[in-house]
Amino acid sequence: MPPFGVLLRLYLPIASGVLAGVGVGYLFAQLQKGQDPSQRLYQQVPLALGKFLFWVGIPISIVGFMRRADLGGAVYLAPVVAWVAMLLGLGLSRLWITLRGHTWPRSTQGSFSLASMLGNTGYIGFPVVLLLPQLGVSVFSWALFYDVLGTLLGAYGLGVILAAKFSDRPQALSRPAWINGLFEVLRNPIILAFLAGLALKPVPLSPRLEALSYGLSWSVVMLCLLLMGLRIQQIRTWRHLSRAGASTVIKLLLLPLVVGLGLTAIGIDGPPRLVMVIQSGMPSAFANLVLAEAYNLDRDLSVTCVGLSSVGLLFTLPLWLWGFAPT
C-alpha cells in the first residue's frame, strides 16, 4: 500500500476542503431553520458557488495549470480511454440489470447506467491528480484531456441521449436529444478555457503574473472541494443503497481495474497510466443529478450513487496508488 505520508499529503487537503464545506453547510442550515428552503443560504450558496466555478473558476484554473502541463507524448490517448471506460460502464450496468432479472422502472435504469459510466473527473478528479505527489501539474494535461474530450462530451452527448431514452417524461422537443447535447457542449465554458489554454501556453508572462495565475488556479481547487462538502451536506436520503452499491462497484472498482490492466497490456505505464486509472475510478458525476432533474429520472438513486461513491473513493484510491504507481 502507499506510504502513510503520501496518503496524508493527499487526504489532508481533500478532507479539509470537504469537511469545511460540510461544516459551513450545517452552520447555514442550523441558523436558518424554519425558513423557506429555497431562500436558505445552505441552498443558495452551493448553487452560487457551483455557477461561479463552472463559468469562471474552473476555466481560469484550466488556463493556469495548462501553462505548466506537459502536452507531449501520447496525451491524446486520454479521451480514447475515457470513452472506452464510459462505454464499458454502460455495458456493465445493462448486464447487471439483465442478470438480476429485475423489472426496474425505466427512470431507475437510466439513473443506474449514468451513475455507472459518468465520473466526477473535473471537480474531484482534477484536485486528486494535482495533489498527488506522484503526479501533479506536469501531467495535468492527461486529466484535462480525459475530462474535456471524454467525460464532458460523454455527459452532454451520450448522457443526454440515454437520459432522453429512459425518461418517464414525454419529450416534446423540436430537436433530437443528441443535438441538444451538442449545444450543451458548445456552450460549456470549460471547452473555451481548454482552447484558450492551448493558445496561451506559448505566450510568455511576467513572473508576477505567472505566480498570480498559478495561485488562483490552486484556490479554485480548494473551492471545488468546498463545494463537494456543501453538496454532501445536502444529501437527505440514502435510499436504494443496494442499487447504488452495485453502481459504485462498477464505477470505483471494475472500470479502473480494466483500464489499468488494459493500459499495462499495451505498454502504457508511469504517471499517464495512473492518471487515467484515477480518472476512470472517480465517483459518480454531479452531471448525473443535472440529467436526472432535467429528464425526470430516478433522483433518489442518482443522489445516493453520488454520495456513496464519493465516500467509497477514500477506500479505493489507495488500491490504485499501490497497484499502478509509477516506477
pLDDT value for 248: 96
Domains of the chain: 4-323 (1.20.1530.20)
pLDDT in tens, the chain (327 residues): 566 676 777 778 888 888 898 898 888 888 767 666 555 676 778 878 877 887 888 888 888 888 888 777 789 999 999 999 999 999 999 999 998 866 889 999 999 999 999 999 988 899 899 988 888 888 999 999 999 889 988 888 888 888 888 886 655 455 666 666 667 667 778 788 888 888 888 888 888 988 898 889 889 888 888 887 887 777 666 667 889 999 999 999 999 999 999 999 999 999 999 999 999 999 998 888 878 877 888 888 888 898 889 889 989 999 999 889 876
pLDDT value for 172: 44
DSSP 121: T
Q: What are the tens digits of pLDDT across the range 32-87?
A: 676 665 556 767 788 788 778 878 888 888 888 888 887 777 899 999 999 999 99
pLDDT value for 10: 74
| Helix intervals (H) in 147-286 | 153, 159-166, 177-186, 189-200, 207-233, 241-249, 255-265, 270-280
Burial of 316 from C-beta contacts in 10 A (0-12 / 13-18 / 19+)? buried
pTM of the model as a whole: 0.87
Q: Which three cell numbers stand for residue 56?
A: 469562471
Grid cell 502536452 in the structure block, residue: 71
For 44-69, the three-class secondary structure string (H helix, E strand, C coil) is HHHHHHHHHHHHHHHHHHHHHHHCCC
Q: Which amino acid is at 205?
A: L
